[in-house]
Amino acid sequence: MNSLKISNSLTKSKDLFKPINLKNITMYVCGPTVYADPHVGNGRSLIVFDLLYRVLIKLYGQKNITYVRNITDIDDKIIETSKIKGIPIDKITSDVTKNFHINVRDLNCLEPTSEPKATDYIKEMIEMINSLVEKKLAYINNGHVYFLISKFKNYGKLSNKKLDDLVAGSRVEISKLKKNPLDFILWKPALAKEPGWDSPWGRGRPGWHLECSVMSEKHLGKTFDIHGGGLDLLFPHHENEIAQSCAHNSTDTLANYWVHNGFLTMNKEKMSKSLGNIETISEALSKYNGQVIRLALLSAHYKQPLDWSDNLLEQSKATLEKWYELYDEAEIETHNSEIFLCLLDDLNTPKYFAKLHELYNAANKGDKDKRNEFNDACRFLGIFNQKKDMLIKQKKEASNVNEKYILQKIGERIKARKTHDFKLADSIRDELFKNGIIIEDKDNKTEWKYK
């Protein structure tokens, strides 16, 4: 059972997962910077690591897992947004955090064990910087504190790059204050109107990379099992987290398994706020049920790029609607290990989907056991979490009739039939049909569905 294999960016191979402590499996995933509503590219990361969390729960039991996903609520992007929009920082971060929580709920992601906020850990951040300065691994220049890359021998190990290549090939911030262009900020001064905290180097705020180093250590310890995030975080964010944490703790390893999900693209270009080609999760949810979005985002293997398109969503919607034909409300655990094996093999969701189609076909022929297995396997994926009538919310809006109206009309029709007014009964049925609703009389009951 315990044979999860996962692609590890640190070793560049698919490794057998061996937890440090079977009674406390630890996973840290970089959460959102709350300056703008998260887009579906961020949603992919949320769902991929939610699935990994579900796999870990199945293998080790929920009580034995600590899953931390942070909130970055102090960052240049937040300050910039506040300046541009003229909205106070607190309002931006609390509104975006609220929307983020609605999004993760609608996408049916399980809640992490804890969700630390960066601004709650400023004291610990100052302590970590102090320790790096004392160890001569960081230097102070004009209110700024920088990490001294040249003193950390393993720099570039995660991103598999040499220092010279990194300088040439990446957009590093050039500053006269730095000794090396790759040295990165640990602390920076705050302007008078900007948020800031007192520190030995003056009033200022922490660097983004440092925030994750402190929050992961606080919640998971100096070395933990899994560190996750989108591929765009691998360099420099994760590389810098390793440098700070390992230098601070005098350890060789921050996390044993570094897991990165591939990009979500739109017209084959990476979806990103800076490129302007984004769709927010909220926008997507206004058009499609969260389960459709979940299926779409899991349709490709998590390491591969995935192109976000109407076609992908319509296909996912059609699949979900088909699968819902065999939806059963009763939750029966079936322990089908064969389909689960696909997920143990580096979260191979395309293979899992193929098996689900097979199960569907077998169940559709009337095999009750297969139907139970099918329902169980759908639930494991994080779908089948709502009754069928919730699923078709969009259609309801499109057809301009709501459930209350439909049930009222059905009631009127039943009454008409009881009084043998079949003309009225038929006209009610025709009216509903015109509105996209089909009704069927089965075993003295009237059922309805959308066309």
- The residue range among 27-35, 280-288, 392-400, 428-436 that interacts with Zn ion, by the rule CB under 5 A, is 27-35
Question: How does strand 25-29 pair with strand 224-230?
Answer: parallel
Residues composing the chain: 451
Determine whether 12 is exposed, middle or buried from the number of CB atoms within 10 Å of its CB (0-12, 13-18, 19+). Answer: exposed
Report residue 278: phi and psi, to 5°: -115, 160
Q: Which of residues 398-417 bind Zn ion (CB under 5 A)?
A: none
The minimum distance between CB 199 and Zn ion, in angstroms, equals: 21
Say which residue the tokens 């300050």 belong to.
79
Nearest Cα neighbor of 241 from 10, 5, 73, 1 is 10
Quote the least distance from Cβ 209 to Zn ion, whole Å.
Answer: 7
Instruction: Between 30 and 363, name the residue whose CB sits nearer to Zn ion.
Output: 30
> Site for Zn ion (CB under 5 A): which residue of 10, 30, 104, 247?
30
To Zn ion, the closest distance from the beta carbon of 29 in angstroms equals 8
Does 4 interact with Zn ion (rule: CB under 5 A)? no
Q: Tell me how many residues contact Zn ion (CB under 5 A).
A: 2
DSSP string, 360-395: HHHHHTT-HHHHHHHHHHHHHTT-S-S-HHHHTHHH
Which residue's CB is nearer to Zn ion, number 7 or number 45? 45
| CB contact at 8 A, 300 and 306 | yes
212 is a contact residue toward Zn ion (CB under 5 A): yes
Provide the minimum distance between the beta carbon of 216 and Zn ion in the complex, in angstroms, as a whole number. 8
Closest CA to 441 of 425, 420, 421, 424: 425
Query: Cβ 25 to Zn ion, closest distance in Å?
Result: 19
Q: Which is nearer to Zn ion, 47 or 212 (CB)?
A: 212
Report, in Å, the least distance between residue 152 CB and Zn ion. Answer: 18
**What torsion do the CA atoms of 4, 9, 41, 97 make, to the nearest 10 degrees?**
80
Amino acid residing at 226: I
Q: State how beta strands 306-307 and 269-270 pair.
A: unpaired
Contacts of residue 178, Cβ cutoff 8 Å, sequence gap at least 6 = 141, 146
Instruction: Between 241 and 346, name the residue whose CB sits nearer to Zn ion.
Output: 241
Least distance to Zn ion, CB of residue 212, Å: 3
d(CA 362, CA 325) in angstroms, rounded, equals 13
Is 29 a residue that touches Zn ion (CB under 5 A)? no
Q: Would you say 216 or 280 has its CB closer to Zn ion?
A: 216
Site stretch for Zn ion (CB under 5 A), options 8-16, 53-61, 120-128, 204-212: 204-212
Q: Which stretch binds Zn ion (CB under 5 A): 44-52, 173-181, 208-216, 263-271?
A: 208-216
Min dist CB 238 to Zn ion, Å, is: 7
Q: Which stretch binds Zn ion (CB under 5 A): 5-13, 30-38, 173-181, 381-389?
A: 30-38
Contact residues for Zn ion (CB under 5 A)?
Answer: 30, 212
